[in-house]
Structure 1
C-alpha cells in the first residue's frame, strides 16, 4: 500500500487537499467524508484498515479547514452547505477521473453523510455507508451535551467571530477553526427538528438534492449512547431519505461490545477493529457482489 497527497479544484476555484491510501490491487475506491471541524487524521487508522482490505481510500479536508485552508478565514464567505454542494462533488469528479475503472463507494461520518444528497454527480455509485448521520436538533440531545452545544454556538462562536472574524476553536481544543458562515448556517439547521429538511431551508437556501431518490443501497451504523445522533435525531433525519435500493441499519450497544462508550466518534477508534470494522468490510464487499 502507498500513500499519496493530492489537490483538486472545485467548480468555484477553491482548492481541496487530501491523501489517497492506495492498495497494491484495489477493488473499489472509497470517498470518505469526515465530520465537521474534525481533523482528518483522526480517521486514518480506520481507512488504513479498509485499504489493507483492498479498498482505495480518499481522505480529504473541506474548504477552509485542515490542509484545504487557504487564504484568510476572517474574510471567508464559505457556507456549511458548500461541503455537499461544492466540495463532495469535486472530490468525486477527481476520483472518477483518476480511477475510472474502479467501482465507487461513499462513506460518511456525521455531516459527511448528511450532505451526500446535495451532490449533483451521484451516478455510478455502488453503495453508501454512514456513521452517526442524523439531524442535530438540540432538544433531542441529552441535557448535559445540549448545554455544551448552546455554549459553543451561542456564546463561544459569536464572541470568537466578533474578536477574530471566524470561529477560533482549535486553540481551545473544541474542534478545528471554522469560517463564520459555516457555523451560522450549521446553527440555524440545529434549531429545527428536521434540520435542513425544514421548510425554511429545503429547496430555498439548500438544494432539494437526491435525498428522496438515491439509486444505491445505504447502510447506517448508529449507537444508542451518541450524544448528538440520538435515536430521535437519527429517526428525524432518516424519515426524509429514500432509495431505489435497500436502506439498512445497525444499532450498536456499547455494553454488548464490551465497551463503556462509543458516542459520536468511537466508531473509528482502534478498539473497534475486531468489534466493528470487520463488519464494515463485509458491507462494502456486499455492495460489490450485489451490483
Structure 2
C-alpha cells in the first residue's frame, strides 16, 4: 500500500462551531479529493479503512464528526442544540470548504453515507462538487417500508425518541446499535422528516428558507442494498426527487453476488466488504477529470 499521511485538523464552521476532522493524503499524484459525509450519529473513525483505501489509490480524503457527535461534541449532549439542518447548513458546508482548502486546484467529490448524502443541498458550496456517490442514502420514510419494518421503525422514531429525550435529555440511540447518542433536536428533526415525504423537503418553507437541491447538476450515483430496509428502492427514489436536476444513476447491491453475508445499511464500509469499494473507485476515476 502506498504511504499515506494522516493528520487531525479542526474545521471551523460559519457559526464559529469547531469540528474534529481527519485528512488523508497519499504520496504521489493526487487524482482528486473526497469528502466522506457521515451517517446519523456515526463517528468519522467508522470510515477509516475506506478512507485509507481511497488514499492508497490516489485520492485525498477528509472525514469529520458532525457537531454533537464523537470528538465534535462540546459540553453536555443534553444541552446541545445541534439539528440535522445545522449538520447540512453549517457542518457539511464547512467540511466542503476545508476539503477545497486542503486540496486546492483539484476536483471534489462527496461520498455520502445515509444523512451524509441527504443533506448536501443545504450547503451553499455543494455546487463546487464534481460528483456525488451516495451509499444507503434515502428519505427513510416509514410508510415506504414493509409492515414489519414499519412497526420497529415506528417504535424507535415515535415512541423511543420522545421517551428518551424526555427522560435523559437526549436520544440514547446506541441502545439500538445506531451509533452515538444524539442531541435531542437532531433526533426530533430526524423523527419529523422520516414521518414525512422527501426527508429534508418536509422542512422547506418552514425551518429551511434557502436550499440548493434544485441547483445541483453534477453526476450522482445512489447505491443501496437489497437487505437494507431503510434505504429501500422507494425511499431512494423519494430522496432522489429532492435533487431533480442531478445526472442520477442507481445501483442496488445483492450481498450474495459479492460473496458477502450482508450489506444492509452500514456494512458497505466494513473491511469485509472491500470487494465493493472498487465500484466507488471506478466512479471517482470516471468523474475526476478536471
- TM-score greater than 0.5 by the shorter chain: yes
Name 1:288's counterpart in structure 2: 288
Alignment of structure 1 residues 9-28 onto 2, 5 Å: 9-25=12-28, 26-28=30-32
Which residue of structure 2 aligns with residue 210 of structure 1? 212
The aligned runs of 1:1-291 (5 Å cut-off) are 1-25=4-28, 26-170=30-174, 173-198=177-202, 201-243=203-245, 246-274=247-275, 276-289=276-289, 291=290
RMSD over aligned Cα atoms: 1.8
Alpha-carbon distance, 1:144 to partner: 3.4
Would the aligned equivalents of 1:118 and 1:207 in 2 still touch at CA under 8 Å?
Answer: no
More off after superposition, 255-264 vs 20-29: 255-264
Indicate the SS of the match to 1:5: strand
- Give 1:40 deviation, angstroms: 2.2
Q: CA deviation at 1:173?
A: 4.1
> TM-score by structure 1 length?
0.92
**For structure 1, which runs of at least 5 residues remain unmatched after alignment?**
none
Larger CA deviation: 2-11 vs 158-167: 158-167
CA contact (8 A) 2:118 2:200 kept: no
User: 1:171 offset after TM fit, Å?
Assistant: 5.8
- What is the deviation of 1:243? 2.9
Aligned-partner SS, 1:38: coil
When residues 154 and 88 of structure 1 are mapped into structure 2, their CA distance, relative to the original with a 3 A threshold, is: same
Q: Is the 8 A contact 2:31 2:58 kept in 1?
A: yes
CA distance in structure 2 between the aligned counterparts of 1:173 and 1:125, rounded to whole angstroms: 32
Aligned partner of residue 212 in structure 1, secondary structure:
helix
Tell me, in whole angstroms, the C-alpha distance in 2 between the residues paired with 1:281 and 1:256: 19
Distance 1:75-1:191 versus aligned 2 partners, 3 A rule: same
**Cα distance per residue 1:79-108 (max 9 Å; x no partner):** 111111110011111222232122211110
| Deviation for aligned residue 1:225 | 1.9
| C-alpha contact (below 8 Å) 1:168/1:178 kept by paired residues | yes
Q: TM-score, normalised by structure 2?
A: 0.92
Contact 1:217-1:243 within 8 A present in 2 as well: no
Q: In the TM superposition, what whole-angstrom CA distance separates every residue of 1:127-155 from its partner, at most 9, and x where no partner exists? A: 11111111111122233333332232233
Q: How many residues get paired? A: 286
**Whole-Å Cα distance in 1 between the matches of residues 53 and 158 of structure 2?**
38
Verify the 8 A CA contact 2:260 2:273 in the aligned structure 1. Answer: no
Q: 1:207: Cα distance to partner?
A: 4.1
Q: Which consecutive residues of structure 2, in runs of 5 or more, have no partner in the other structure? A: none
Q: Could you tell me how far apart the structure 1 residues matched to 2:155 and 2:85 are?
A: 23
Q: Which whole-Å CA distance do the structure 2 matches of 1:174 and 1:282 have between them?
A: 30
SS of 1:96's equivalent in the other structure is helix
